[in-house]
A and B are shown apart, each in its own frame.
Chain A
């Protein structure tokens, strides 16, 4: 059989290029010591000075990772650094990949469903690893740590230190450098620091004594699927002008800001420059990007699953908002029925526009899917009006919210999305599960200046672009036809362009006309033949 020429080995070391240098081994050891301290804390080893041990632990993890990366990349000439990726057990679904995958999955299960094992004590003094993070949490927000604070801190540390690794690895590419600085900044400032500081303001007079919900400003609905729940709306509305401004910002984000930015730059402005999930995938997940499934079957599954999630989140949010609205227009202008009619009108407009003007650009199954989903939602809304008051549609809004939160918010985005990085690649959540990515992708496919341009006839079909596409796009299938890549799922990370040995791919924004163009005969051949065969 002509399959692989090399067996992924179980050993962490081995022959070049999969072997580790002495420096890398020591760096790994140091990082493990840092993780070990956290693990000891989980098992309730009592650390006398929490601040000191937290600093020691996080420093050991950070310095270990930075040292490892510096040793691996900074010593070499700038360029593509993929030597041995498919020989190393960690990056080719070998033994260590399964160890890390299982450990991460276990961590997520404990985090979401058994936080008490991490030492969470509600209404009392925290213990275990959460207690270790109390000093940092109190410094920032003034409150004791929760499991989410521990997770948020580790998440941010991971993005920063693996971001540094990425910066060394791709230091020849200014696009990659700027993009990585951007995700590191948005994670540190917007996801981590600002919400903690906002929490400090709660009860303060500039909020009229109100209490803002935890709000990562760059986290847009529907990724932030809980943004319009009752407790958050109450929080916003109780917090004076700032609260109202934040609520309006949250609504504008999805309906105005994201469409404009996606039109101009493609969905990459969000998915690979701003988003926190993307940030982790691009930094800590970079070693696993080649594991995504490139088959046409996987693509089909992706289209159905991710769009079903969009339908799910739309229904769920509609039901939740509906459940707390009143019926009396004199009390508040937005009532249950106005709201439902509004949703129906909006969906009809979007659906009508896509079907009227952009039908040709959709795959056959996408057309059927869109029609199917549209009919279902409209039927549910109609059903509601005919069935009178009580619960919305056929379901209780609370049941809908809970199942979404459990299935999508926890299992899909956390346990599978991140826990399975070393098995399925780094963007499983973004590709199959994220409703935000799906909505931006819809805009990107149909109405955006963004494309990956294929450079005439220069493609040699080598497959580096497809192999290293974290979204599982078979980039080569387009490039070797001389066709631009315009795919809903493309997050614009730019790695296909970076790994291309012949300079074939360029991410760019340009005119809509001629954005999607497939050629049967490529540039470089007889011009008469090209004109003959490529006419459409």
Chain B
């Protein structure tokens, strides 16, 4: 029986395992050093905030793995012998016996594989800042990072202030987490506005306002020069590059992006770039070795997508595709239309298709922006200048229906059609006030149109 070994029990590796099991009775082993069972990484913040316990972030009951005959190994993959097709894994001392988990000895053991899937995810970026390894400096990615945060910032007595370096999705999550324990937070954003490498100005400015509304000290155009030690190996303060200002703090959160977690692969013969280099079939340069999820780097980018995509959904999709290949139906990774979502404190964000920020978009991409006069609600729609083809949409505080927008992108609908049928795409809970008519009157005014809103139609939605 063919043995498939998957390193990493995140969404990519676990999705691959589940689909392989659905398609075959191959032997499957998942190796993880991080946790016993698969959990939702994106939900770690809710554990610190007290919305959930860690167990709640685990999507499957503990018995699921045994029931589906998926072997779990709690160990660190140290080296890969690609010649003899085996990996060396090291366990750790433990007194616990868990029938669902195999823990190898501390000095390690070899596991042979027929096919190897690397799905080791990412690690937080560190850019060589002075003091970046002091106690109290940390990222927020793994379960271990969460435990560390509980130690570093249990309350606002032990942590008088936290400084977060980097204004991305994880940075804002970390700020929200710390604020639930009334810890004063400063966020350093190198750019002139929050996440404006991704969001157009209108959207980005509204998020700036919302961050400040939550009493978070948001510093724009501010970057980190160094982290200062208190003399005992702990963080005392940070110093800003631009102004030289020193901000006293006990915790520094490094959230300036992530990078593939592939150091252990050096010297294995597997071709590495920023991540593990893969072709469109998610195959590495070596036969029977594959890489999926955050750690995979496409040799050639797909559409507007980046070569390394550290996103939950892409990890899942690569797992879905690779399972087909491993079970005899060799398939290319060809993701559909781009989509993503996030939550900035109280504001939900969804995006479908491509909406580029001002500094990245071409002249032929035109934006239509509408913002609610009082509430923190806005949308930005991108379309092609001449043909008026719909390219993508960002919504903040309005939920949209994935299926309808995906269909419009496939059908290359023009902007007038999208605007007129906007009510079909709304996914807000029932009885919510819709803003379609306000949005359309602004669209008509901005572009000299006279579109009228079509009433929501169940027949069109559920076609």
Contact = CB atoms under 8 A, between A and B. Distances in A.
B42 A460 contact: yes
Nearest to B51: A82
A86 B52 contact: yes
B230 interface: no
Contacts of B399: 455, 503, 506
Nearest to B431: A174
B55 interface: yes
A141 interface: no
B81 interface: no
Contacts of A80: 51, 346
B50 A455 contact: no
B339 A507 contact: no
Chain A interface helix/strand/loop/mixed: loop
B320 A529 contact: yes
Interface string A456-468: 1110111110110
Interface in B416-448: 427-433
B90 to A, nearest CB: 18
Interface string B256-293: 00000000000000000000000000000000000000
Contacts of B146: 5
Contacts of B54: 2-5
Nearest to B94: A1
B223 interface: no
Interface string B299-339: 00000000000001100110011001000000111111101
Contacts of B337: 524
B135 interface: no
A388 interface: no
A29 B343 CA distance: 37
Contact of A85 (B43, B50, B143, B320): B50
Interface stretch (B160-168, B242-250, B378-386, B401-409): B401-409
B43 A460 contact: yes
A457 B313 contact: yes
Nearest to A528: B334
Contacts of B335: 524-526
A498 B410 CA distance: 30
B429 A173 contact: yes
A4 B143 CA distance: 11
B51 A464 contact: yes
A525 B51 contact: no
Contact of B96 (A1, A84, A507, A508): A1
A511 B462 contact: yes
Interface string B37-69: 000101100111111111111110100000000
Chain A, interface size: which category? 35 or more
Interface in A168-193: 172-175, 178
Nearest to B37: A2
Interface in A1-38: 1-6, 15-18
Residue from A84, A502, A532 having most chain B Cβ neighbours under 10 A: A502
Interface in B50-101: 50-59, 61, 96
A507 B429 contact: yes
Interface string A507-536: 110110110000011111111111011000
A477 B56 CA distance: 12
Nearest to B57: A463
B427 A460 contact: no
A499 B59 CA distance: 17
A5 B59 contact: no
Interface string A146-180: 00000000000000000000000000111100100
B321 A16 contact: no
A84 B43 contact: no
A106 interface: no
A6 B150 contact: yes
Contacts of B431: 174-175, 178
Interface string A76-100: 0111101111111000000000000
A464 B343 contact: no
A394 B42 CA distance: 58
B282 to A, nearest CB: 12
B325 to A, nearest CB: 11
Given A17-B180, A461-B40, A524-B402, A5 B49 contact: no
Contacts of A172: 346
Given A6-B150, A175-B431, A83 B334 contact: no
Nearest to A455: B402
Contacts of A532: 324
Given A15-B181, A462-B42, A462-B57, 9 more contacts: A3-B53, A15-B156, A86-B50, A462-B46, A464-B43, A476-B59, A506-B427, A524-B339, A525-B317
27 contacts: A4-B55, A16-B180, A17-B181, A78-B346, A80-B346, A82-B51, A86-B52, A86-B53, A88-B50, A174-B429, A175-B430, A175-B432, A453-B427, A458-B313, A458-B339, A461-B42, A501-B348, A502-B343, A506-B428, A510-B458, A520-B19, A524-B313, A524-B335, A524-B336, A524-B402, A526-B317, A533-B320
Which A-B residue pairs are the 9 nearest by beta carbons?
A456-B402, A79-B346, A503-B399, A462-B43, A84-B50, A16-B182, A15-B155, A526-B334, A501-B343
